Amino acid sequence: MMEEYYKLDHEGTIGDLKTRFKYAKVDPSRYGLKTHEILMSDDKDLNQYVSVKKLAPYREKEWKVPNNRRYQYKMMLKEHLRGKRKDEKTGKKNQKIEESNVDLTSLYGNAKRRRQKAELSLSRGRLWAYGKVPPGAKAKGKH
């Protein structure tokens, strides 16, 4: 097969130019994973574990996977093998929603946006401490 490759005049054409691409030599790296862990993982999970952006071909410094990320990934693989894989979207945000007794399915676009905005805004006491008057809380004069 390699002989056939070298017999070719070119690998591809860019415009009208026949070109042969030069590949960079890269040291093999498993990023702390065993072979069976790599083969059993989905492409999506592997891309989250080691992003292609981190592996840009012209990086001078070798990028290593942080230990905590490696540990989290291996724990996720173990849970996946046990069939107890948690939904990736559950997190702090969904826990807050579950703790609140409001049914979000009944909320529509504007109401949902208003509720999320209210969660992010500062409390009235905090605004008064900063000398800011919240809208709608202006003191009404006596008539």
Residue pair 110/72 in contact (Cβ under 8 Å)? The answer is no
**Domain chopping of the chain, boundaries:** 33-84
| pLDDT, tens digit (0-9, with 9 covering 90-100), for 51-79 | 777 665 555 566 677 888 888 888 888 88
Cα-Cα-Cα-Cα dihedral sign, residues 36, 39, 40, 44: positive
Full pLDDT tens readout for the chain, 143 residues: 667 766 665 566 667 776 766 666 767 777 788 888 888 888 888 888 877 776 655 555 666 778 888 888 888 888 888 875 455 445 555 555 555 555 555 557 778 788 888 777 777 777 777 777 656 655 555 55
The tokens of 57 are what?
A: 């071909």
Measure the CA–CA gap between 95 and 74, rounded to whole angstroms: 24
State residue 127's pLDDT score.
Answer: 74
Distance CA 85, CA 131 (A): 49
Q: Quick one: pLDDT at residue 89?
A: 47
Residues 6+ apart with CB under 8 A from 85: 76, 79
Of residues 91, 76, 73, the one with CA closest to residue 33: 73
